[in-house]
Amino acid sequence: MAVGEHNLVEAVDLVREYRLGQERVRALDGVDLALPGGQFVSIVGPSGAGKSTLLHLIGALDAPTSGSIRVDGVDLGTLDDAASEFRRHRVGFIFQFFNLVPTMSAWENVALPALLDSKSLRRAKPRAVDLLEQVGLGDRIDHRPSELSGGQMQRVAIARSLIMEPAILLADEPTGNLDSTTGDAVLQLLSQVAHGDSGDSGAGTRRLVVMVTHDEHAAAIADTTITVRDGKIA
């Protein structure tokens, strides 16, 4: 790595092969990546190209068949039992269908990762409320997901992804379930999070946001677009 440069994701010759009976599928076929912080990156490409596989490898949800990947300074090849710890602290995840707990309020959903990290919900509440204010939901902290719109639910999910202060956010089709106006607002928020201008105590923290999308408009809002085709970066 060059002096003064800090790539949050560095992958070299990443291969992921699936075996289905006798058949082998090369979902990723030799991918190199170098992504610094402070960027909103979109991954696009046709269905089956390997986008989700790549996102899952970056998030240590899956392991490569060969090749190496370093995320936020951690060599994922050495993680083994520490993978869940890595996922809890180093990366935040945002999903198409929000994945909120329906019986919990907005602030409790945001605080949940802290609870799973053996902190009490109460202790995490001030930070959770802070984050909800940051995403424009300061007046919705006690609402359940069913009492929120799709865009608001995705904002809660973005606040939740930030509570452990990860350097990297990974978003899988974050606008896939939203209308275009609501989706745009969510994309603007992700862009602000990447650039460190989302305006709270954590302001100035530049993060890497990596989003998989098949929405061309969503990709256009990102700073950088990576096109994946047949398991390779095009």
- The contacts of residue 33 (CB under 8 Å, 6+ apart) are 9, 10, 11, 14, 226, 233
**Which pairs count as long-range contacts for 149-155, CB under 8 Å and 24+ apart, including other chains?**
149/182, 150/98, 150/177, 150/178, 150/179, 150/182, 151/178, 151/182, 151/183, 151/185, 151/186, 153/98, 153/100, 154/94, 154/98, 154/178, 154/182, 154/186, 155/186, 155/189
The SS3 assignment for 45 reads: coil
The site for ligand ADP, by CB under 6 A, has a size of: 12
Task: Determine the interface stretch with ligand ADP among 43-51, 103-111, 130-138, 189-197 (rule: CB under 6 A).
Answer: 43-51
Q: Which is nearer to ligand ADP, 49 or 163 (CB)?
A: 49
Q: Which is nearer to ligand ADP, 197 or 216 (CB)?
A: 216
Task: Determine the interface stretch with ligand ADP among 47-55, 194-202, 203-211, 217-225 (rule: CB under 6 A).
Answer: 47-55
Q: Is residue 49 within the footprint of ligand ADP (CB under 6 A)?
A: yes
DSSP 103: T
Q: Is residue 59 within the footprint of ligand ADP (CB under 6 A)?
A: no
Spatial contact of 163 and 91, defined as CB atoms under 8 Å apart: no
User: Which residue in the set 7, 39, 42, 53 belongs to the binding site for ligand ADP (CB under 6 A)?
Assistant: 53
* Residue 23 C-beta: closest distance to ligand ADP, Å: 9
Q: Is residue 47 within the footprint of ligand ADP (CB under 6 A)?
A: yes
Q: Alpha carbon 123 to chain centroid distance?
A: 25
Q: Is residue 20 within the footprint of ligand ADP (CB under 6 A)?
A: yes
User: Which residue in the set 11, 37, 42, 50 belongs to the binding site for ligand ADP (CB under 6 A)?
Assistant: 50
Q: Is residue 109 within the footprint of ligand ADP (CB under 6 A)?
A: no
User: Which residue in the set 39, 42, 52, 175 belongs to the binding site for ligand ADP (CB under 6 A)?
Assistant: 52
Q: How far is residue 192's CA from residue 195's CA, in Å, rounded to a whole number?
A: 5
User: Which residue in the set 37, 45, 64, 113 belongs to the binding site for ligand ADP (CB under 6 A)?
Assistant: 45
Q: Is residue 51 within the footprint of ligand ADP (CB under 6 A)?
A: yes
* Residue 46 C-beta: closest distance to ligand ADP, Å: 7
Tokens of 67: 């090749």
Q: How far is residue 211's CA from residue 171's CA, in Å, rounded to a whole number?
A: 5
User: Which residue in the set 25, 101, 220, 234 belongs to the binding site for ligand ADP (CB under 6 A)?
Assistant: 25
How many Cβ atoms from other residues are within 10 Å of residue 175's Cβ?
25
Q: How far is residue 231's CA from residue 9's CA, in Å, rounded to a whole number?
A: 18
Contact residues toward ligand ADP (CB under 6 A) are 18, 20, 25, 27, 45, 47-53
